[in-house]
Amino acid sequence: MTPSVDTTWTGRSFPSVAREMLANSQLRRNVRNATNLIQSKRERVVREMSDWEQLREAGAALRAHALEHLDYYLTEFEEACIRSGGRVHWAVDSAEAQRIVLRLLREKDALEVIKIKSMTSEEIDLNSTLDGAGISAIETDLAELIIQLGEDRPSHIVVPALHKNRQQIRELFARKMNLPDLSDAPEELAAAARRYLREKFLSVPVAICGANFLIAENGAACIVESEGNGRMCLTLPRTLIAIAGIDKIIPRFQDLEVMLQTLPRSATGERMNPYNSLWTGVHQGDGPEEFHIVLLDNGRSRILADIEARPTLQCIRCAACVNACPVYHQTGGHAYDSVYSGPIGAILTPQLAEMEEGRSLPFASTLCGACYEVCPVKINIPEVLIHLRSRIVQGDVGTLGGAFGVWNLGMQAARLAFEFTVLFTSGQKLARVGQEVLVSKDGFIGWLPSIGAGWTKTRDLPSIPAQTFREWWVERLKARGRV
């Protein structure tokens, strides 16, 4: 059996996991080096495009249009896929998707499957489900293979093993593949993975994949990748099973003209992905004999119904927002305790979980807007973050909210203080008296109790001055006889 990875929620909040990640200096160096490299490559190839902003606008418009008419385009895709010989299955949630895939595999008496990197299969925790049913799922993407062999969890949407450096990968491969003399040269590591997987490509009769795009007008699926393992999985097995979110629909084949320019530049800093695979159904003597696609909802319809949150579904999983995020740079992806990390994970994860999981994630942001500036489909992530924060604080979900929730009470108190001058000035005077026991000789407050400790532990907090600007101004007016 291949190692299975537990991708289920631990229930821990972002701050609690992030504190552990911040203590791991090696992980932080790995994350920083990798994201900086990807960002610099992206910036270089984006600068080459004189019409980059127009491409972003076009991508945003076509994704928004597809979501606005999602029912129509899903039906069109289903009909076209069936005409081409494919079989379409609908899954309302992860449990139903798991049952569908298991049924298809049991029909084939499959004990092994090869897999292309798929965030959707991670989302439904497919590998653990297959492992429990006695079926080995073999990841063929290099980064996913590293994660699987190390019994680890992905930390990045596009580069799941981004938190590992090549010395750590060499040690893992040497141990798991019995290659004690293996060096840490990238070409040797890639060759070792290729040898390890080649027999599986040639012998395993069933493959599982995701989809970057589903094209409504002709029922085609599209996968873009950089290693060629995807092409092997899409052509050699006799049965191919795809699992794709219903949000992956684009209306026309022509829409790829925009998507295939913005996605690779945003994701990996490449002008074009080395491998772009499209297929429609099945064709006699060419590729798999059976093609199944599982169209997964799993909370997407709820997001679609929320007008303010709907832009979340425009995402094309390029991870440009992740690479640009200052919070992700410091904590890495594991702090999000989810398949989806970074800014997009902060808005997608809690919504997929009906706001019952990941309630701390919408607060895991500085709202600096870097994510919006790099998004190739112009998702205004900061606006969605604020919307989700509002839902939590106002008591729409969970125990953090409600009229008497700590966040709501705090924000209501702040609103009143800023609204009424007498409350604001009275609060300043009380704080000035109360801070006396906390102010150090340098004029800063070095420690605060309870919630305030989170600030003073890592930041300087200036003390309230003996005279505020407002008090100085009134005193100045009095001295001039104007009051």
Q: What is the pLDDT tens value at each position of the chain, 483 positions in all?
A: 343 333 445 668 898 898 889 889 999 999 999 999 999 999 999 999 999 999 999 999 999 999 999 999 999 999 999 999 999 999 999 999 999 999 999 999 999 999 999 999 999 999 999 999 999 999 999 999 999 999 998 899 999 998 999 999 999 999 999 999 999 999 999 999 999 999 899 999 999 999 999 999 999 999 999 999 999 999 999 999 999 999 999 999 999 999 999 999 999 999 999 999 999 999 988 889 999 999 999 999 999 999 999 999 999 999 999 999 999 999 999 999 999 999 999 999 999 988 888 889 999 999 999 999 999 999 999 999 999 998 887 765 544 445 556 667 777 888 888 899 889 888 888 888 888 878 887 788 888 887 777 778 777 788 888 888 888 998 899 888 876
Q: Report how far residue 301's alpha carbon sits from residue 313's, in angstroms, rounded to the nearest whole number.
A: 10
Q: Token digits for 327?
A: 């919070």
Q: Residue 449's pLDDT is what? A: 80
Mutual angle of helices 166-176 and 142-149, in 10-degree steps: 60
Q: Residue 435's pLDDT is what? A: 83
Closest by CA to 381, choosing from 349, 406, 354, is 349
Q: Compute how many other C-beta atoms are within 10 angstroms of the C-beta atom of residue 185.
A: 11
Question: Span 25-30+46-301: which CATH code?
Answer: 3.40.50.10420
Q: Report how far residue 232's alpha carbon sits from residue 226's, in angstroms, rounded to the nearest whole number.
A: 12
pTM of the model: 0.84
- The full length of the chain comes to 483
Query: Which residues of the chain are in CATH 3.40.50.10420 domains?
Result: 25-30+46-301
Closest by CA to 229, choosing from 275, 186, 191, 269, is 275
Q: Token digits for 170?
A: 């060499």
Q: Compute how many other C-beta atoms are within 10 angstroms of the C-beta atom of residue 110.
A: 20
Q: Residue 6's pLDDT is what? A: 38
Q: Report how far residue 15's alpha carbon sits from residue 397's, in angstroms, rounded to the nearest whole number.
A: 19
Q: Compute how many other C-beta atoms are within 10 angstroms of the C-beta atom of residue 350.
A: 24
